[in-house]
Structure formats: structure tokens, C-alpha cells
Amino acid sequence: MMSGEKHGILVISHGSREQSWVKAVDDAVQAAQQRWIEQAADEQQRMKRVAVPVYAAYLELVEGRLIQDGVNALQSEGVTHIYVMPLFVSGGSSHVEEIRQAFGFEPISSFIGDLEPLRLTASVSFDEPIGAEAEVVQILQEQALALSIQAEDEALLLLGHGSSMPYFYEKWEAGMRSIANELQQRIPFQQVVYAPLLPEGSRQALEQLTASSGVRVLVLPIFISPGYFTRTVIPTRLADLSYNYSGETLLPHPLMSELLARRFGSYALK
């Protein structure tokens, strides 16, 4: 870090009207900051990390905690360089792309977001969403095993958001394929498949799996935190079909804080 520079970290997730959703993210970010500080190699590095402000902001629905609020909070502390960590599951999220564009980065496809450009004085580095990180796969493995009775007689269906736009759907699908392949290698399910909620493919995927004689289907939602999609959308889409589902999400699993702390450590905050 050059003299006169001050770094800050801005973790951005979607947001929700449900306070429990927001609290799960806030708690994970706070725990990650503490872990990152504790993982410092020496006292000098620890003090440098203590001096780095970390702020959690939201794309929408959380009044007073939106992205510009986060930017303002960091810049008011004298931050000259912001590391943006998008806490989204997939690189196939158009939300991530519109956030990038709001920070002044060039579009990567024909999609143009509708967020207003952010008022910035700091420079910005923009990280990737969490994707098929090792911690994500480990969490899903634990959740699948908790639902499983005899993996050889079961199939696993992974459900994610998806996208109605081809460019983003392809990126979403690539990430889901990677996760599915990794889980198939770790657990001897008959099949591990994935399906989107947008465009709707969840019900057809489950019907195809249950048509296999004797197979027991486990359904895992790949979402950041419990909310409308996991509690309402998925059960409604799969109504009257046979499946096993807990509705657990990536948060509040402690490995998510480990993932964030590792990401913080990868930033150029020497």
C-alpha cells in the first residue's frame, strides 16, 4: 500500500425485506472481518487489517444500506481504494453486471443495467461472485449428506436462480455444472443434476428424476440466505411431487465467513 492510500472493503449482496436475511449477511461479514484480522501473520499486519473498514451493502430493499450508502461510509473514513466483493452465488447474475457498470466498468455483454452511476472519489477493484468455491461445495456436500439415507439409491437436484438472458444463463449454467460435477465425484448419487427457476425448469427436472424407478430425490437450493425463493417459490413450484428438502442455504454456515475472510486476504492489502 502506497503512502497516503487507505483501503476499504465493500461486500455487496442483493438484499431482502426480511430482517433475518439481512442479519445473516451482516453476521457473516462481521465474522469474516474478525477471522481475517486473526489470521494476520504478525502484529504489524494485524494492525494494518484492523485499520481497513469493511462494510456490507445491498443492491435494494434495505433502506440506508444501499451501495451508495456503503461507498459514502467508506469514503467518509478516507478510503481511497475500494475492493468490491459481490456476495452473489453466480457470475451469471445480471445484478452483478449492473453493479459493475454502476462502478464505472464497461459492459461485458449487450445488457445495460439501470443503476445510476455511483458517486465515487475512490478507485475500485471488483472481485468475482462466490461461484463454485471449495467452501460452497463443502457446504452443499454437508447439506446433501444430511438429507441422504443411501446415496446409491438417490438423485440430487440443485436449484438456482438462472437467468432469462442467454449470456448470463450460460455463465450460470457453467457454474452449476461445475458444482454438480464436484458433488457427483464426492457422493455416489445415481445422478446429480441442476435446474433453473428462471426460466422455470425445476418441476420438469424433478418429474424426470422421480420417473426413474425407485429413486429418492434430494433437492438443494443454492441461494445465499433463506428467504422468499427457498420458503415459497421452490415449494410452490414443486407442489404435489415427492422430494426431500430442508430449505437450507449457504448462510448461516460458518464456512461462508471462511470464504469471505480468504477473499479479503487475497486483496492487495499488504
Q: What is the pLDDT of residues 133-145, one digit of tens each?
A: 999 999 999 999 9
Residue 63 lies in a domain: yes
Residue 218 lies in a domain: yes
6-45 pLDDT, tens digit per residue, is 999 999 999 999 999 999 999 999 999 999 999 999 999 9
Q: How many CA atoms lie within 13 A of 215 on its CB side?
A: 19
The answer for residues whose C-beta is within 8 angstroms of residue 229's C-beta and 6 or more apart is 161, 197, 221, 223
Q: What is the CATH number of the domain that holds 155?
A: 3.40.50
| Domain match, 71 and 166 both | no
| Domain match, 83 and 215 both | no
pLDDT over 90 at 251, yes or no: yes
| Domain match, 146 and 212 both | yes
pLDDT over 90 at 212, yes or no: no
Q: What is the CATH number of the domain that holds 40?
A: 3.40.50.1400
Residue numbers of the domain that contains 154 = 134-245
| Domain match, 172 and 238 both | yes
The pLDDT of residue 3 is: 61
The pLDDT of residue 214 is: 74
| Domain match, 149 and 199 both | yes
Residue 181 lies in a domain: yes
Averaged pLDDT, 189-211: 96
Q: How many domains does the chain have?
A: 2
- Alpha-helical (H) ranges within the chain are 19-38, 43-50, 67-76, 94-102, 134-147, 166-186, 202-210, 228, 234-237, 255-266
Q: Which residue type does 252 have?
A: P
Q: How confident is the model at residue 213 (pLDDT cuts 50, 70, 90)?
A: low
86-99 pLDDT, tens digit per residue, is 999 998 999 999 99
Please return the burial class of 26, using the count of CB atoms within 10 Å of its CB with bins 0-12, 13-18 and 19+.
Answer: middle
Which triple of cell numbers denotes residue 242? 415427492
The pLDDT of residue 4 is: 79
Residue 210's SS3 state is helix
Residue 34 lies in a domain: yes
Residue 174 lies in a domain: yes
**Cell 462466490 appears where?**
130
pLDDT over 90 at 175, yes or no: yes
| Domain match, 103 and 150 both | no
pLDDT over 80 at 59, yes or no: yes
pTM value is 0.94
Q: How confident is the model at residue 127 (pLDDT cuts 50, 70, 90)?
A: very high
pLDDT over 80 at 2, yes or no: no
| Domain match, 20 and 120 both | yes
| Domain match, 96 and 206 both | no
Residue 235 lies in a domain: yes
The pLDDT of residue 50 is: 96
| Domain match, 56 and 73 both | yes
| Domain match, 77 and 147 both | no
| Domain match, 203 and 261 both | no
Residue 173 lies in a domain: yes
Residue 2 lies in a domain: no
Averaged pLDDT, 163-187: 97
pLDDT over 60 at 1, yes or no: no
| Domain match, 95 and 158 both | no
253-269 pLDDT, tens digit per residue, is 999 999 999 999 998 66
Averaged pLDDT, 67-75: 98
Higher pLDDT, 211 or 121: 121
